[in-house]
Structure 1
Amino acid sequence: MANTGSNATRRSSLPVVVIGAGPVGLAAAAHLAARGQSFLLLEAQPAVGWSARQWQHVRLFSPWKYNLDPLAAELLGRTGWVAPLADAHPTGGELVEQYLEPLAAHPAIAPHLRLRHRVLAVARQGRDRLLTTGRSAAPFVVRVETPLGETDILARAVIDASGAVPNPLGASGLPAIGEEAMRHRIFYGIPDVLGQHRARYAGRRVLVVGSGHSAFNVLLDLVQLAAEEPGTSVMWAVRRDSLAGRFGGGERDELPERGRLGQRAQAIVEQGLVKLVTGFRLTRIEETPDGLVAVGEGHSLAPVDEIVAATGFRPDLAPLRELRLSLDPITEAPVELAPLIDPNVHSCGTVPPHGFKELRHPEEGFFLLGLKSYGRAPTFLMRTGYEQARSVVAALTGDWEAAERVELVLPHTGVCSGPVAADGEAACCEPAARPEPVLIRPAVRSRACC
């Protein structure tokens, strides 16, 4: 008994380790700092907000008021920082420059930030995944690759907000045969078609694979490039047999720019500015004298020069192999969160707020936050991650009332993924009336929003 108490006391003196200095990881750090908690913020890259820097040219469809963590903004305000206009829409670059970099430089966070610290693995000290005895009292071991070599950091809790990695092109979830060999002609994400990467795509035949908002942004830029650069052509391949409901809720979307993005994408397809191929499930990429040929189940596409993979993301779970996680077998999200976001059953695109209860794992003190917590589901909004961070940090400090309280109402998308009706639209009911913020109850979170 005495030894257990000693271990518990030792563990309580250790820091909370936050993995990933993107928007959600920085928000978690801000909440830990505000509550006087010891923490370390580990970032694998040489600068904070690394993911946003890769799409710095893209304008977000959510305005600033949904991209600022309220407490973080309050901390910054005390230093003289002036918040951007609430209804303005930042680019990825503006998000970094006007918010993430000032937040990382805040005196409550900067001393605890470690750049170029890549987390290789997380485990329990002295216990592999199999051993149960004394597990909950043992500190976490975070193995980190630093500029000076590998080291282990002990932590009393771990918040993993490290984001996600791009999905491969293959329709089976595996890289297409030939994909790895052709990576130098494949861009994963949203290339800066009209700026930094213009020469790569001007006058070229480009295939875009994927059916989400990232694909919309790429397609719209490529169509503009084609109008300016002769010889540029755009092909769009999607796995779905129909795009009904995929262009969003239009005027019904409570984020108007998100609705307009879908409408613009639909317009370029209807105008024939993009060659659309539906029901295409890519299995192989072949290099021929005429270009890259994407081979699907039963047929091939015309040769192209470049491919853009806008196929979504998945979590990198390899560093967490020695932890006991409770992940949904379909989405790879925490099991309590999965029913709220599973695109196979989720009847609308809006995800209700959620907190530590939905994010818990059998490994006490470990949480996945942000995009990584959503597994393979694509419905993440930044402000959702901030609410996760607020609730989880409150739980880690024993403030259960704050941890269970919902402090966020999210905008409805106006789009549903239900059965397609005769008019080609996805069937959907009207959004339910918004309740006042209440404690998260199992009965409330058991169903989708509409």
Structure 2
Amino acid sequence: MSEAKTIAIIGAGPVGLAAAAHVLERGMSPIVLEAGPEAGHAIRQWQHVQLFSPWEYNVDKAAARLLAPTGWNSPDPQAYPTGGELLEGYLMPLVTRTPLREVIRTSSQVSAVSRVGFDKAKTKGREQAPFEIRYQNGKGPEVLRADAVIDTSGTWFSPNPAGSNGLPAIGEAECASRVAIGMPDVRGINRSRYAGKKVAVLGAGHSAVGTLIDLARLAEEVPETQPVWLLRGADPAKAFGGGRNDKLAARGELGSAFAALVTSGKIRVETEFGVTHLSESEGRLEVSAGSGCAARSVVVDELIVSTGFRPDFSFLSELRLRLDPVIEAPVALAPLIDPNEHSCGTVRPHGARELSHDEPGFYLAGMKSYGRAPTFLMMTGYEQVRSIAADIAGDKKAAARVELVLPETGVCTRGGVETTSAAGCCGGPAKQEASACCAADETAKKAGASGCGCA
């Protein structure tokens, strides 16, 4: 029965292409809709960035099986690729040398997903109705029907604004010419924009940290360059990561290098800086925080907003999604990844069970499945789509099976309390309990405790 199934996959990034490989391997028919002109369109925006996970964690197993007969040379599993190398060494061979080349439709922007003959409110017979996916491809509106939909469209093109309340700062739109989003290539193609300038970076995640390190290196080459770190929180050390305890060595080294630059004064730090206003100031940009007597500001030439991303659900409004109201992730996944509670690197691998909704046959996967949580790893997405493909094919046993062990950070926070453990963050991942974020939490829940047991 699975052979007749057509599976629509939204997004041709690494996780979307992995989904297509697993669907194909299950004897079903994938159709991949990619909004950009080429597969991996979002990655092309950060080709200069080195991943902090080595090749062994960035190649999906089903995709590798597709590539094997093509003469593809598998990269050194211990080497750390850049975004550009990920494209050249893996994604482009996958989309040009394997059967996936026949199922990818580029420049195809999905505008809506629903069920044939059913709006969101109509129930009887809903599960039997195929999905209807509408998209634009430059030739006018197109319609695709599918038995299931996997949304791996990501979040890269839905960045969070500068404003600390989740809204754009007042004046942000008017000052857009001096504001960049994400991780611009400050030492490469964007060098002329930032060299010799005073540049503020807003954010505390890996994007902000990486950009500030690059700006500090640029300052060594062009001494007039002045990096300024605008931090919403009070403690810069929270951005330094697990250091030597991090089993992803490059991630630990990134945090250690950043800590050294901050400690040495090469990066100016403004803590508790919740941006409220942006305005022009004598040909420069004034970035303001607070109000009244507590207001303060810095004047810079450029601002880079690295405050993370959020999912776009606008084209899914006719589907019955079950989303956590805080994290905007599927309700069963949200407790495992809630950054208000923890930053563990040992989020338990999860799949179809945690990613399904009240709309049978529809799944969120990849970065988008994490909602507003910033802790997604590519290998997690590969495990997600392996499980989802099995679930759609009716192999419930394989869908429920865990086939991934995640590397640990060695340092995590629970309810704001930092802990370190050589045996694994918070005791390691949970083994059975779906709502438990880690082993200590699972133990507490089995004992009848409510909430998070390892705080």
Distance in 1 (CA, whole Å) between partners of 2:106 and 2:118 is 28
Distance in 2 (CA, whole Å) between partners of 1:75 and 1:166 is 33
Give 1:251's match in structure 2, choosing from 226, 244, 259.
244
Return the letter of the residue paired with 1:341.
I
After superposition, where does 1:382-397 map in structure 2 within 5 Å? 382-397=378-393
Give 1:69's match in structure 2, choosing from 51, 60, 65.
60
> Counterpart of 1:91?
82
Residues 127, 262 of structure 1: CA spacing in aligned structure 2 closer, same or farther, 3 A cutoff?
Answer: same
> Counterpart of 2:211?
218
**Does the Cα contact within 8 Å between 1:339 and 1:346 map onto a contact in 2?**
no
Return the letter of the residue paired with 1:306.
E
> Counterpart of 1:446?
436
> Counterpart of 1:317?
313
Give 2:17's match in structure 1, choosing from 1, 26, 40.
26
Secondary structure of 2:387's counterpart equals: helix
> Counterpart of 2:444?
none
2:410 is the counterpart of 1:417: no
**Does the Cα contact within 8 Å between 2:308 and 2:374 map onto a contact in 1?**
yes
TM-score of the two chains, using structure 1 as the length reference: 0.93
Distance in 2 (CA, whole Å) between partners of 1:319 and 1:205 is 39
> Counterpart of 1:205?
198
**Does the Cα contact within 8 Å between 2:342 and 2:415 map onto a contact in 1?**
no
Distance in 2 (CA, whole Å) between partners of 1:419 and 1:119 is 39
Distance in 1 (CA, whole Å) between partners of 2:273 and 2:96 is 47
**Does the Cα contact within 8 Å between 1:248 and 1:414 map onto a contact in 2?**
no
Residues 267, 419 of structure 1: CA spacing in aligned structure 2 closer, same or farther, 3 A cutoff?
Answer: farther
> Counterpart of 1:157?
148
Give 2:254's match in structure 1, choosing from 261, 278, 282.
261
**Does the Cα contact within 8 Å between 1:170 and 1:176 map onto a contact in 2?**
yes
Distance in 2 (CA, whole Å) between partners of 1:244 and 1:236 is 13
Shift of 1:119: 0.3
> Counterpart of 2:114?
123
Gaps of 5+ in 1: 1-8
Return the letter of the residue paired with 2:146.
A
Q: Deviations over 1:336-370 (max 9, x none)?
A: 00011001112623211001000010000000000
Q: Deviations over 1:295-339 (max 9, x none)?
A: 111323221111111111110111111110000011000000001
**Does the Cα contact within 8 Å between 1:347 and 1:448 map onto a contact in 2?**
no
Residues 137, 161 of structure 1: CA spacing in aligned structure 2 closer, same or farther, 3 A cutoff?
Answer: same
Residues 355, 420 of structure 1: CA spacing in aligned structure 2 closer, same or farther, 3 A cutoff?
Answer: closer
Per mean C-alpha deviation after superposition, the further-off stretch among 12-21 and 387-396 is 12-21
Distance in 1 (CA, whole Å) between partners of 2:3 and 2:173 is 45
Return the letter of the residue paired with 1:53.
R
Return the letter of the residue paired with 2:296.
S
Residues 261, 99 of structure 1: CA spacing in aligned structure 2 closer, same or farther, 3 A cutoff?
Answer: same
Secondary structure of 1:193's counterpart equals: coil
Provide the aligned length of Structure 1 versus Structure 2. 433
> Counterpart of 2:169?
176
Distance in 2 (CA, whole Å) between partners of 1:201 and 1:415 is 34
Shift of 1:246: 2.4
Give 2:276's match in structure 1, choosing from 283, 298, 309.
283
Shift of 1:230: 3.1
> Counterpart of 2:451?
none
Query: What root-mean-square deviation, in Å, do the aligned CA atoms of Structure 1 and Structure 2 show?
Result: 1.8
**Does the Cα contact within 8 Å between 2:337 and 2:437 map onto a contact in 1?**
no
Give 2:371's match in structure 1, choosing from 361, 369, 375.
375
2:41 is the counterpart of 1:41: no
> Counterpart of 2:48?
57
**Does the Cα contact within 8 Å between 2:70 and 2:98 map onto a contact in 1?**
no
> Counterpart of 1:354?
350
Distance in 1 (CA, whole Å) between partners of 2:3 and 2:172 is 47
> Counterpart of 1:4?
none
Distance in 2 (CA, whole Å) between partners of 1:320 and 1:39 is 20
Distance in 1 (CA, whole Å) between partners of 2:185 and 2:382 is 28
Return the letter of the residue paired with 2:204.
S
Q: Deviations over 1:261-305 (max 9, x none)?
A: 001111111000111011111111011115111111132322111
Residues 322, 419 of structure 1: CA spacing in aligned structure 2 closer, same or farther, 3 A cutoff?
Answer: closer
**Does the Cα contact within 8 Å between 1:339 and 1:448 map onto a contact in 2?**
no
> Counterpart of 1:3?
none
**Does the Cα contact within 8 Å between 2:341 and 2:415 map onto a contact in 1?**
no
Distance in 2 (CA, whole Å) between partners of 1:288 and 1:176 is 16
Identity of aligned residues (%): 50
**Does the Cα contact within 8 Å between 2:116 and 2:129 map onto a contact in 1?**
yes
